[in-house]
Structure formats: C-alpha cells, structure tokens
Amino acid sequence: MSGYDAVVIGSGHNALVTAAYLARAGWSVAVLEAGDRPGGLVRTDELTLPGFRHDTYSSAHPLFTGGPAFAELGPELLALGLDYRKPRYWSGVSTAQGAVGLLAGSVEENVAEAERLAPGDGEALARLLKEVEPSIGPVFGLLGTDLATPAARKAIHRLTHDAHGGLSDFAHLFTLTGRVLLEETFASPVTRGMLAPWALHLGRGPDEVNSALWVILVLVALTTAGMPTPVGGSEQLAKALTALIERHGGTVECHQRVDRVLLRDGKARAVRTDGGQVVTARRAVVASVNPDQLYLGLLADEPGAVPPRIRAQAGRFRYGRGCFQVHLALSEPPRFHDPRLAEAGEPHLTEGLDALSRSVNEATRGLLPAEPTIAFDAPSSVDPSRCPPGQAVARLQLLDVPCRPVGDAAGRIDVRDGWTEDVKRAFADRVLDIASRHIANLPGAVLARHVISPADLAAANPNCGPGDPFGGSHELAQSYLFRPLPGQPGHRTTVPNLYLVGAATWPGHGVNGASGYIVAKQLLSQTHVNRQK
C-alpha cells in the first residue's frame, strides 16, 4: 500500500458507505480492517450447524433501506447482487396469555389492528400519526445531517418552536418517555407492548426521557420501509458495498489493524498499522471508532493535538446495556401459538410495558433479568437459502441485559465470574424456556444453538466496549449534540482532516448508513468548494 486521498479505519457499514461515495467521486481510497473480513457487525456465519447461516449480530435493515445512502447507492448495490425480502407483517407481539398484536405495512391495517385490540385505539393511532406527520419529514432529514451544522440548527429551531415564538408540540413530544406516550394514547396493553420494545433497539428504555420520539420514528419507519432482510444474510450488504468500492478503484484490506493516526503540520496525514506500516492520506482520515478509542488511543502519540477538555470527555464516554443472543438451528419452522406470528419479521415475546420496564431496570442495575423481553426473528421464513429445506434458522435477541452482571434478578444464576460459559448456558436456558411459552415446538425442534453474550460482543468488536451493540449509551446526555462528545458535537474531530463515523456518532444505533453518508457529503462538498476557489 502507498498513499491515498483518503484512508478509512475500520470497515463497519458506515465506513464502507463513506468509502463507496469517495471512490465513486474519483478519490483513491483504502479501507483498513483489523478483522478477517469487512462489515463489522454486519456479518453472517454458520454458527450452529453446516448449512445454517445466521446473522451473527445485525439482521434486518429498515433504517438503511429507508435512508439517504440507499436512496443514492441502492441501484448500484442491487446491481451488484444485494437483494432484500420482506415478511407479510413487519413486527408483532406475543404474550404468554395468548394475546397477539401485529404490525403491518400500511397505516390502514395498523389502525384496524389497534381498533381490534381495544375500541377507540384505532382512532387514537390515526390521530397520533396525523399529529406528528408535519414533523416526520424534517426529523428523518436530520438523521442524515450533521447536527453541528448551521442548517441542522435552523431545522431544529423550526421543529421545536411554534409561529408565536413558544415551544412547539414536537418540543413537548421530544421530552416524553415512551411509557407516557403509550399510556396516554392507547388503552390496550397489547398495543403498548407491541410498540414499547422498539425503543430498546435504539438504545433507549421505555422510561427514559426522549424515548417517545423513537417509538414513533420506528413505527413510521417500519410502516414505510418494512423489515427488509438481505437474501443470503446481513453480510450481503457489506459484500455489496465492498464490491462497489473496488469497482470504482478503491481497496479494502483485512488483517490491517491501525494503532495510530499520524499528524503533520497539525493535520491528520497518515495512519500506522500495528505491523509498523505507514499509509498516507492526502485529503482525509476517516475513523470508524468510538471517541475514547480515538482520543485516548489512536491519537495517544499526539498529546498536543487533543485539548484537555476533549481528552477528559473521551475518558467519560459511557456505554449502555448489553446484547445477548441465542442462535438456533431448527428441524422445522417455528410454530407459534398464533400462526400469523410466523409471518412477522421480528415480533417481541413480552408480558407488556411493565414487564419491559422491569427487565430494563434490572439490566441497568447490573442484574440478569428474571423475565427478559425477547426479540424473535427467523429470516429463513422469507429467505429459504439460509438453511436446508424444511428447516429453519432463528434468533432470540435480548437488549435488556447488563454488560457486566453483578447479580441475577431471579436469584438462580451465580454471576460472580461474569459471562462464563456456565452463566451463558444457564441464562440461554431461561430465555429458551420463556420462548417456549409462545412457540409450541421449542425446545423440541432445536438441533443446535450458539450463544453470544455481551462479553463475546466485546471481544469481537472494540466499538462495542464492554458489550454494548450501539457504540455507547444513547441516553439524552450522550445523544444529539452531545454525541459523540459535548465538545465535539458532530463528525469533524478536533484534528483537521480527521473525521469520525459509526454508531458512536449521530444518529448512532443500528444499520442505517447515516454517519457514513454525512461524512462523505461533507468531504465531497468541501472538495467542491475548494475547487471553486
């Protein structure tokens, strides 16, 4: 390797999105990945048995397919083999008492379902969607915008202020918890239980300030984009992005761990790998890392380049709750007590809003939850290529678990040594037992299982810190203009020519491609301005 216009550290999907845009614009680009293949948490493996292909970490991509990067790169990605399939229902909920709710792909269907669950709730849902409709477009626009820019701040002011100079209804909604929104809007505990868990997929519990906004955004996103699953596995997105980069002359190199960013004249001009190789970057270095890794690690040899305030803030960067997954190889498709749930992309198995609050609170206090909320998905229902004919792959995902457990809320599992194999096995048994109350052929249909704990996640990807899949806590004090750091409320770092992408930056959480899009647009716009001068 020699010099490039841009060097990208890491190959998570946001890093690949940035590299794809730059390569398409004619930049020479090198992506340096420490692991064995590109993609970060967008990965597919035979985790259980040969022929059973599981999405190891992330699965469906509704935020990506509904976002600006896919709108622009999508045609080329599809031409390179990326293909999505959607289930009949986007999501749903199942309670052990047999109550079921389903979320479909049209407002009319969802209004009818809410009305079925409780008279008056259909009208309440329609009214809620109508009330937030004027704000939805601007808010989704901000998901693809650096919030530190003047344009974003003007958009935020318009959203949060009314024509009379007071605060708007949106500003009030912004402060609400998911619980308040759901309890004030819906009478049905099933509808509340169907919508509440989705904020958890964005790093927010139902009783956290600002979680109401994300409940609504997910509802709108799922209604419009659905629950698209890549044929062949989640990793097909990473493969298509890599192919796009290489088609336009870029390079993606694996087994290249970057341990330092090197400065010249105060600007980021090169990176050094742990093997001692120096790769120069004429225009930009883009790092898909968290701020603690950047300012306390990659820039450790450049103490004068990092203001003490930024270094201190990086040292206080906080991680959130962890992720626990049980991947299953099944001898037959899952048989829910209500067969419609087998057609749902990612239903939740939960006893409702109060149960979710309890399990999140237990996890926040470091306890294994006694009754965790389970997100269930079986991608083989829409993509038979994932497993042998007549069989199935499935995943039980928990986002209400502690990264470092200090106890068990049920008082049955000894966690004094952390996520040991014995703890993983015992907790997976608990999860499978809960799932069996909803799915008749569990555990009987299980051929094999593979368990991933927060400790496994931490070992697999440094951006997960101690096991947080969302690249750092998304509490209000570490989101929006506080993300990644209060002193760096955007993707431009304190070092010229050095940019951050990934879940630790706005908008954070999930497979969305947004931060990669934001940084690419900043770099290309800057190039355009420089050429005009």
Burial of 264 (0-12, 13-18, 19+ CB in 10 A): exposed
Same fold flag, 4-41+234-317+472-532 and 60-105+226-231+321-469: no
Report pLDDT for 1: 58
Integer Cα distance of 378 and 368 in angstroms: 25
Each residue's pLDDT tens digit, 114-140: 999 999 999 999 999 999 999 999 999
pLDDT at 530: 43
- Each residue of 420-437: b (16+ CB within 10 Å) or e? eeebbebbbebbbebbbb
**Three-class SS state of 170:** helix
Largest CA distance in the chain: 69
pLDDT in the model for residue 527: 60
Query: pTM of this prediction?
Result: 0.96
Q: Are 91 and 103 in contact (CB under 8 A)?
A: yes
Q: What is the mean pLDDT of the chain?
A: 96
Measured CA to CA, the distance from residue 322 to residue 337 in angstroms comes to 29
Question: E strands within 172-277?
Answer: 229-230, 251-253, 258-264, 267-273
Within 8 A by CB and 6+ apart from 453, the residues are 322, 324, 419, 423, 424, 467
How far does CA 207 lie from the centroid of its chain?
20
How confident is the model over 148-177, as a mean pLDDT? Answer: 94
- Model confidence at 304, pLDDT cuts 50, 70, 90, reads confident
Per-residue pLDDT for 431 more than 60?
Answer: yes
Per-residue pLDDT at 529 exceeds 50: no
Q: Residue 531's pLDDT is what?
A: 41
Q: Please determine, for residue 533, whether its predicted confidence score (pLDDT) is greater than 70.
A: no
Distances (CA, A) of 187 to 119, 131, 181, 233, 461: 8, 19, 11, 38, 42
Dihedrals φ, ψ of 224, to 5°?
-90, -45
pLDDT tens column, 235-263: 999 999 999 999 999 999 999 999 999 99
> Which residues, listed in sequence order, are joined to residue 326 by a DSSP beta bridge?
396, 451
- Exposure b/e, 23-51, CB count within 10 A at least 16 = b: bbeebbbbbbbbbeebbbbbbbeebbeee
Are the C-beta atoms of residues 345 and 376 closer than 8 Å to each other?
A: no
Considering only CA atoms, give the Rg of the chain. 23
Percent of the chain at pLDDT exceeding 70: 98
Q: Is the dihedral of CA 359, 363, 369, 375 positive or negative?
A: positive
Q: Model confidence at 96, in pLDDT bands (50, 70, 90)?
A: confident
Helix, strand, or coil (residue 131): helix
CA distance 298 to 259: 6
Please name the amino acid found at residue 319.
Y
Would you say 199 and 349 are in contact if contact means Cβ atoms under 8 Å apart? Answer: no
The CA angle 157-154-141, to the nearest 5 degrees, is 95
pLDDT in tens, 135-154: 999 999 999 999 999 999 99
**Greater confidence, 301 or 418?**
418
Domain ranges of the chain: 4-41+234-317+472-532, 60-105+226-231+321-469, 106-221
Average pLDDT of the segment spanning 451-478: 97
What would the two tokens of residue 426 be?
């015992």
Please name which of 278, 344, 265 lies closest in space to residue 94, comparing C-alpha atoms. Answer: 344
Measured between its terminal Cα atoms, the distance across the chain in Å is: 32
Across the range 382-396, mean pLDDT stands at 98
What percentage of the chain reaches a pLDDT higher than 90? 95
Judged by DSSP in three states, 375 sits in strand
As a whole number, mean pLDDT of residues 380-404 equals 98
pLDDT of res. 344: 96
**Amino acid identity, position 48:** T
CA distance to 25, 58, 74, 523, per residue, from 21 (Å): 6, 23, 12, 10
| pLDDT at residue 97, rounded to an integer | 86
Q: From CA 427, how far away is CA 10, in angstroms rounded?
A: 32
Is domain 4-41+234-317+472-532 given the CATH code 3.90.1150.10 in the classification?
no
Q: How far apart are CA 64 and CA 15, in angstroms?
A: 14
- For 275-303, the pLDDT digits (tens) are 999 999 999 999 999 999 999 999 998 87
What six digits make up the tokens of 434? 């809960």
| CB within 8 Å of 424: residues ≥ 6 apart | 451, 453
Instruction: Tell me which of 3.90.660, 3.40.50, 3.90.1070, 3.30.70 is the CATH number of domain 60-105+226-231+321-469.
Output: 3.90.660
What is the reported pLDDT for 374? 98
